[in-house]
Chains A and B, each alone.
Chain A
């Protein structure tokens, strides 16, 4: 009797969420795999044709996709470095016991709360008009020109905006790590004659390893999946040169109506993201054992 009752409670508590979750995540995931083997243009009346692995073969022959994958990797690497150097630098600044550090921390974090779409639009103005203005009136025209018209610089522009958004976020995580380092350890090192640089590289950085792992992972997956900033800042332009992985999938499906090929790309995207994440978790686990 009691056992039966417990089961009923279990069902009552878990089924509502499981129902929503299954409809929104599990079922689409499974039929998504099926769609990647089908040729279809998205119009319900038109036939869906099973084509086996042909979609996947076509994806790898698609130059636009390969270009997109390549610039996504470039973008991710640049973003990874810039976000973490900036985040770590800011965290060291605001933990330096200055009176204004609380205010500074608040201000540094603010861009992170504003959505990527809106940030992209703000910076679009800066990279086009404000930069042009500075170049024409202040000088340094080889830095201050319209970045969004140049394929390479348009990519750098996305890196800058992404870093501006994420630096405050990684800063918060690095601060938590820095506060975990006991003060007496630093004082002891100082007494022993270790200079600021030595204290930083020999004590702070090794103890900050867990924070590094978290931040690297967050920037890695965030950068790889970037969409909103890409859409509002460059829209993939000039001429598809900054169309990144996520946007390429979106355009393939909803722009060109190639549902099968687009979904095959989406599955590849999943495999890559999952692989990156699992490698990262594996490394984290290994580190934790050592510490």
Chain B
């Protein structure tokens, strides 16, 4: 009896999970259907699997370029955030004076500022830099990376700061006595000990930057520079919506995310939990 109950519970749980993901199912099945089939029955399995819409979507969204752009912007931004924020946080933790405390407080306080409050003056600032200093901050991937780093600095410094306070200083002192420079101490001794928090920060930032729409939409105007969320937006804006084509396009955008999720699942779930709790 108990065993039967348990099996029923197992089946119900799996069924619930599948119902939960039914939007994904609907997206998938309709990406294979032709127009009349889609309007005849939006829920049924497709009668034949043709990848025509995928080929079309791939081309119309300029998907491979967009994928490359997203990958480049996300990876470079995350690496820079990790390198600069860990160095900064280390100095702030190990230099115990008024200045360090003030800098740290400013980082923490700015986490309260929503993006919408900064977006217009940010664009003005970047425009000013472009005209007066000649640095191309707008409509370049590098400019977007620069802004990504600025926006994700606070959280990364905050998380590193909290983590480093628990690391014993003795090892660092020993290395300094052995004649290691600060640079050497940090990269050879401290940074390897930050592995878990670095993974957490990297995962939180990858998810946020990969999915970000608003900031890239404000900075990138060239078609060839678009990231995946941008090309999805324009894909939906340019044509009256042809749903089977649209569903194929959306499926394409989700594939990289799903692959990322299933390869790094443990780290992602742990990272999310840790990032949120702090």
Q: Which A residues lie at the B interface, using CB under 8 A?
A: 6, 9-10, 13-14, 16-18, 20-21, 23-29, 31-32, 35, 44, 93-94, 96, 98-101, 103-118, 121-123, 125-126, 129-130, 133-134, 137, 164, 169, 172-173, 175-176, 214, 218, 225, 227-228, 231-232, 246, 249-250, 253-254, 259, 262-263, 266-267, 269-270, 273-274, 277-278
Contacts and interface: CB of A to CB of B under 8 A. Distances in A.
A253 to B, nearest CB: 5
Contact of A17 (B9, B18, B157): B157
B147 to A, nearest CB: 5
B250 interface: yes
B245 to A, nearest CB: 12
B196 interface: no
A130 B116 contact: no
A99 B261 CA distance: 21
Nearest to A138: B43
B23 interface: yes
B238 to A, nearest CB: 14
B236 A232 contact: yes
A24 B117 CA distance: 12
B36 to A, nearest CB: 13
Given A32-B120, A274-B113, 11 more contacts: A20-B149, A29-B118, A100-B13, A112-B272, A115-B210, A117-B229, A125-B247, A133-B42, A173-B273, A269-B117, A270-B113
Interface in B1-27: 6, 9-10, 13-14, 16-18, 20-21, 23-24, 26-27
B52 interface: no
Contact of A20 (B10, B146, B213, B236): B146
Contact of B6 (A98, A134, A263): A98
B79 interface: no
Interface string B145-163: 0110111011001000000
A102 to B, nearest CB: 10
Contact of B261 (A32, A113, A116, A214): A113
Contacts of B272: 112, 169, 172
Contacts of B107: 21
B50 interface: no
Nearest to A245: B116
A122 B13 contact: no
Contacts of B119: 250, 253, 266
10 contacts: A17-B153, A25-B150, A28-B122, A114-B254, A118-B211, A121-B236, A133-B41, A134-B43, A164-B20, A266-B120
B117 to A, nearest CB: 4
Contacts of A273: 112-114
A176 B276 CA distance: 11
A274 B108 CA distance: 12
Nearest to B131: A44
B121 interface: yes
Given A10-B95, A29-B117, A172-B272, A227 B211 contact: no
